[in-house]
């Protein structure tokens, strides 16, 4: 068999596996055993040769490879076994910048930094779990963690709305709905004067790191706040409301946004906080009325939330085996009433009595869309 050398960049292979474990290396399609780990040099792999006899990077006690060692020479099984470097049976892998993938965050590594978490806008299930995770991870890192109660309103008002959090203050909240630190919409934060007051309250409490849990409006406000942060501090220092030392110390504002919205309408995240619970409630509601629908052969029109995102409508329709679904990403055709009537006629004429469901999003594109849908359903039921 003619074996050819393969020059494969390490990032294509090792980015998806933990190379510190031999069991993972055994599943690598290129070779079953690692001979040596080098930087900027090829690694020679062989499918049958036991490298533990030739190199000490394998630790029998821990059953793992020591990737902290660097070698200046290439270890080739053919060079070791057959005394030749003209290898035709070994695969060559370029292991550039190959380093252990696992990193552990040390406790207390961010000691003394001020971190605040708040929820804003409409509440969603899972916000309390997110708050708990932020608080306890912040304490683990050594940060001084604060709650900002009532969202942006609490940030603007300051005072008792900004309180220090402890490990026990987030106990027994993970199962609770809503948000235990409150949420409110704040008109003052939309104005420059309101954001100036918010900046002063953060600097006064030594906070330069924010975790914002909210929807589109909350994250948009956070982005604007970050963009204006440097100018806000300069203005506060010029007015004598903060010292120049404070202005220099807290000159950088770091913000992390966690999307809390049941609509699942935010780009860059697989699932927003609250979406799964909202979908669960939709299915529960359908299960509660399904017996009536089957008993009287009725057609139900289910309106779900989502605004301009049809995720809840589509997934809810799939889970409930709906007969028809409307969603904003794909507007219905002009002849949708005829198609809907035909579908409902097929359902009503089946041998088994079936419940019919039609899903539509929260905000139809036309104001009279719901009335048209009801008229179409009524027409189909009369046939």
Q: Which domain holds residue 29?
A: 25-51
In a domain, 99, yes or no: no
Indicate the pairing of strand 42-45 with strand 91-94.
antiparallel
pLDDT given for residue 72 in this prediction: 37
Q: Do 128 and 235 belong to one domain?
A: yes
Question: What is the 8-class DSSP label of residue 357?
Answer: E
Nearest to 216 by CA among 154, 179, 259: 259
Task: Indicate the average pLDDT of the chain.
Answer: 74
Which sign, positive or negative, has the C-alpha torsion 84, 85, 88, 94?
A: positive
- Residue 61 token pair: 């006690």
Q: Domain boundary residue among 259, 289, 307?
A: 259
pLDDT in tens, 198-237: 999 999 999 999 999 998 889 999 999 999 999 999 999 9
Q: Do 232 and 132 belong to one domain?
A: yes
Confidence label for 366 from pLDDT (cuts 50, 70 and 90): low
Secondary structure (3-state) at 107? coil
Q: Do 141 and 173 belong to one domain?
A: yes
Please give the tally of structural domains in the chain: 3
pLDDT given for residue 266 in this prediction: 85
pLDDT in tens, 16-32: 333 333 333 333 333 33
* Residues that are catalytic: 263
In a domain, 1, yes or no: no
Q: Do 219 and 290 belong to one domain?
A: no
- Residue 81 token pair: 């076994």
Q: Residue 252 and residue 377: Cα distance in Å, rounded?
A: 58
With tokens 């100036």, the residue in question is 196
Q: Residue 310 and residue 325: Cα distance in Å, rounded?
A: 10
């Amino acid at each position: 068999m003619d074996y050819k050398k393969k020059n494969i960049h390490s990032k294509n292979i090792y980015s998806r596996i933990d190379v510190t474990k031999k069991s993972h290396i055994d599943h690598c399609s290129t070779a079953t055993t690692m001979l040596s780990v080098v930087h900027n040099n090829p690694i020679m792999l062989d499918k049958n040769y036991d490298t533990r006899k030739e190199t000490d990077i394998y630790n029998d006690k821990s059953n793992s490879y020591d990737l902290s060692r660097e070698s200046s020479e290439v270890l080739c099984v053919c060079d070791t076994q057959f005394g030749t470097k003209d290898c035709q049976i070994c695969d060559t892998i370029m292991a550039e910048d190959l380093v252990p993938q696992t990193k552990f965050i040390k406790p207390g590594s961010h000691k003394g930094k001020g971190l605040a978490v708040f929820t804003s806008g409409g509440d969603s299930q899972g916000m309390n779990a997110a708050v708990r995770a932020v608080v306890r991870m912040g304490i683990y890192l050594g940060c001084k963690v604060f709650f900002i109660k009532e969202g942006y309103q609490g940030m603007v008002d300051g005072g008792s709305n900004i309180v220090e959090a402890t490990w026990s203050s987030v106990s027994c909240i993970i199962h609770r709905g809503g948000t235990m630190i409150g949420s409110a919409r704040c008109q003052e934060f939309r104005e420059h004067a309101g954001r100036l007051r918010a900046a002063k309250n953060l600097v006064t409490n030594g906070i330069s790191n924010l975790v914002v849990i909210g929807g589109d409006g909350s994250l948009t406000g956070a982005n604007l706040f970050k963009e204006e942060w440097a100018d806000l501090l300069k203005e506060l220092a010029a007015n004598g409301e903060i010292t120049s030392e404070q202005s220099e110390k807290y000159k950088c504002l770091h913000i992390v946004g966690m999307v809390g919205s049941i609509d699942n309408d935010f780009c860059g995240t697989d699932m927003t906080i609250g979406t799964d619970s909202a979908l669960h409630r939709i299915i529960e509601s359908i299960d509660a009325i399904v017996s009536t629908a089957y008993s009287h052969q009725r057609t139900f029109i289910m309106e779900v939330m989502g605004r301009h995102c049809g995720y809840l409508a589509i997934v809810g329709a799939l889970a409930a085996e709906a007969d028809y679904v409307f969603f904003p990403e794909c507007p219905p055709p002009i002849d949708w009433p005829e198609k809907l009537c035909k579908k409902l006629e097929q359902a009503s004429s089946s041998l088994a009595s079936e419940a019919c469901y039609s899903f539509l999003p929260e905000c139809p594109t036309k104001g009279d869309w719901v009335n048209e849908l009801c008229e179409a359903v009524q027409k189909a039921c009369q046939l």
